[in-house]
């Protein structure tokens, strides 16, 4: 993987929708752009809630993605 790519780990039912536990896409600078790209590429994601984690921190806003960042798509979860 180069600095011009994002390696995204995918968990839970999201992995079933995408067809794997990780995907590599061209670099995108923000989580908002990333979400839009994912929804365009995988239309079935529109029917599912998910969050984007950048460097193991869930991002609720349009966060900046640094080159080499660790990314994950996480389905809804509850803890106890």
Specify if 41 maps to a domain: yes
Those residues of the chain that have pLDDT short of 70 are 1-3, 78-80
Specify if 80 maps to a domain: no
Give the chain's domain count.
1
Longest CA pairwise span in the chain (Å)? 39
List the domain range (segments joined by +) for residue 66. Answer: 5-74
pTM: 0.87
- Residues 38-54 pLDDT 10s: 999 999 999 999 999 99
Specify if 79 maps to a domain: no
Specify if 25 maps to a domain: yes
Specify if 10 maps to a domain: yes
* DSSP states along 18-42: HTSSEEEEE--SBHHHHHHHHHHH-
Kindly report the CATH number assigned to the domain that includes residue 64. 3.10.20.30
């Amino acid at each position: 993987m180069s600095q011009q790519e994002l390696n995204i780990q995918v968990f839970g039912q999201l992995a079933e929708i995408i067809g794997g536990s990780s995907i590599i896409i061209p670099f995108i600078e923000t989580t908002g752009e990333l979400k839009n790209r994912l929804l365009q590429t995988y239309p079935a994601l529109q029917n599912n809630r998910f969050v984007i984690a950048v460097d193991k921190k869930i991002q609720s806003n349009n966060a900046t993605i640094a080159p080499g960042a660790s990314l994950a798509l996480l389905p809804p979860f509850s803890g106890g």
